[in-house]
Amino acid sequence: MLDSLHRRRRGRWLARRLRLGGAGADLAYQPPPEYGDALQTPSLALLEGVDVAEVERRLTPDERALWDGDTPAGRARLALTLGTHHGVETGLLPDMPPGDVHSMVRSKVITGGDPWLADLVIGAAGREPALGALDFGCSSGRVVRFLAAWRPDVPWIGCDPNEGAVAWAQAHIPGVEWFASPQAPPLPLDDGSLDLVYAISIWSHFGENAALRWFAEMHRLLAPGGRLVFTAHGLHSIGDFVRRGKLRARDGTRCLRALETHGHWFRQTFKSGGDWGVADPDWGESYMSPDWVRRHAEPGWRIVRNEPGRLDGNQDLYVLERV
């Protein structure tokens, strides 16, 4: 009975901290606006040659309901992915990884790639790459394949420690340089050879030492002025996971206190087999605060963006510029 009472009190404390002042203030989430029109999004650029009316004619009833309920920007992206799914010419390849190959999402809505994340990466970066761009932790390539279709003139690179996912991507997606990456730096790329690196839900898994080592490696790879776009768990993630039952209130409390006192919290969540066979003691579930990022970014980086909860109302988005 005392233990049950303690759990309820811990849950109430956590809820107050996530709703009220201090480190967890102002966590009400609203869908973020699109980025400004100064930079054309990859999805709108690819849409220019697509017969949207033909895509609409081929929609199933459930797809039509999704289409009708979306925003204009969302419908533009659906025209590309559902169009590819239904055989309309979009410039995207329909090949999708089978069930035994790692993929973060399996849905006809991302047939040919993920325009939502592609637009997010380029919009957040605020510029188009020229020297070269790296999808760090690309899995089977759902983001970089879309970007390579948009700008085939850019040297696109995708790397991931999951050898099976990289092998599938290499066999099915042209226009990208693929390689299986080591689980610790360095990567086999030259100093200053890139002007964009992005990593979707990668720093959300690194232990603190690994996170810092990979920050240093990205700094080596980027030319001065190059940008690192990444997402990471933060305060929004705690609230979202506790509400959905993916994080116990006790662990949420520990995490929140760690972010308030130190700025980083990590726990090992993968069993001995690792994450799809990739086992690493520094790869689990991690959370970080903006203050922690700021302390470790300076003076080699300038923080261009910090958007709490930008990724699905959960992960925070950061853009660092290499000084």
* Mean local confidence (pLDDT), 209-215: 98
- Whole-model pTM: value is 0.92
List phi, psi (to 5°) of 232: -155, 155
In a domain, 260, yes or no: yes
For residue 194, pLDDT beyond 50: yes
- What is the pLDDT at residue 26? 45
- What is the pLDDT at residue 17? 66
* Residue 136: C-alpha distances to residues 74, 148, 166, 276, 312 (Å): 25, 15, 12, 17, 20
Name the strands in the sheet holding 176-180, side by side, starting at the edge strand that comes first in the sequence: 176-180, 156-160, 133-136, 194-199, 222-232, 315-322, 301-311
**CA gap 14, 238 in Å, rounded:** 9
* Cis amide linkage into residue 299, ω under 30° from 0: yes
In a domain, 99, yes or no: yes
In a domain, 263, yes or no: yes
pLDDT in tens, 120-137: 999 999 999 999 999 999
- What is the pLDDT at residue 20? 40
Of the candidates 321, 292, 186, which has an alpha carbon nearest to the alpha carbon of residue 234? 292
In a domain, 309, yes or no: yes
Tokens 């020229």 found at: 130
Residue 40's pLDDT band, with cuts at 50, 70 and 90, is confident
Residue 19's pLDDT band, with cuts at 50, 70 and 90, is low
pLDDT in tens, 243-287: 999 999 999 999 999 999 999 999 999 988 889 888 899 999 999
Beta strands 315-322 and 301-311 are antiparallel
Domains in the chain, number: 1
Query: What's 225's domain CATH number?
Result: 3.40.50.150
**CA gap 273, 118 in Å, rounded:** 31
Residue 236 belongs to what domain range?
33-322
Q: Are 143 and 118 in contact (CB under 8 A)?
A: yes
In a domain, 255, yes or no: yes
